[in-house]
């Protein structure tokens, strides 16, 4: 069977950086392969979830927080979600505008990382009762 490199083109394009100013990865951050997430009616790209996770871990490592909600902060997983990595966990806003959270209103959606800097998942208040969360798809 002959190998046709043209069939790999869509996959190679996914691996090609799309920005001349890539977001630096803080020391120790181990990004898991992510396909993005849909939280309610908002869809986030892998680039957006990675950027929010990187910012969360950089702040966590520095021992600093942003906003009145002091993000990132401990996420206790009271809902009992199964994540891709073990905790303990930190939650950090991911904004539907595409901007990186810098202290403004956090909105409904969060990335979850563990304290080793690995991405755990994405959660949302959208559709949940009270202050609870639902897992994004």
Domains of the chain with bracketed CATH: 30-135 (3.10.450.30)
72 has pLDDT over 60: yes
Count CA atoms closer than 13 A to 62's CA, side-chain side: 12
28 vs 107 pLDDT, higher one: 107
pLDDT one-digit tens code per residue, 20-56: 334 444 454 444 545 699 999 999 999 999 999 999 9
pLDDT of residue 21: 37
Tokens 């690995």 locate to 118
Q: Which helix (H) or strand (E) holds 121?
A: strand 119-124
Q: At a CB cut-off of 8 Å and minimum separation 6, what does 62 contact? A: none
What is the pTM (predicted TM-score) of this model? 0.77
Catalytic positions, written as ranges: 73, 91, 125
Q: At a CB cut-off of 8 Å and minimum separation 6, what does 61 contact? A: 26, 27, 28, 117
């Amino acid at each position: 069977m002959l190998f046709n490199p043209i069939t790999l083109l869509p996959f190679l394009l996914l691996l090609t950086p799309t920005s001349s100013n890539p977001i630096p990865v803080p020391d120790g951050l181990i990004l898991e392969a992510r396909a993005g997430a849909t939280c309610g009616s908002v869809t986030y790209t892998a680039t957006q979830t990675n950027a929010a996770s990187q910012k969360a871990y950089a702040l966590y490592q520095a021992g600093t927080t942003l906003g009145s909600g002091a993000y990132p902060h401990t996420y206790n997983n009271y809902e009992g979600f199964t994540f891709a990595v073990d905790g303990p966990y930190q939650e950090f806003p991911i904004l539907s505008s595409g901007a990186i959270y810098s202290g403004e209103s956090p909105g409904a959606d969060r990335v979850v990382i563990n304290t080793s800097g690995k991405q755990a998942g994405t959660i949302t208040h959208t559709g949940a009762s009270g202050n609870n969360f639902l897992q994004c798809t």
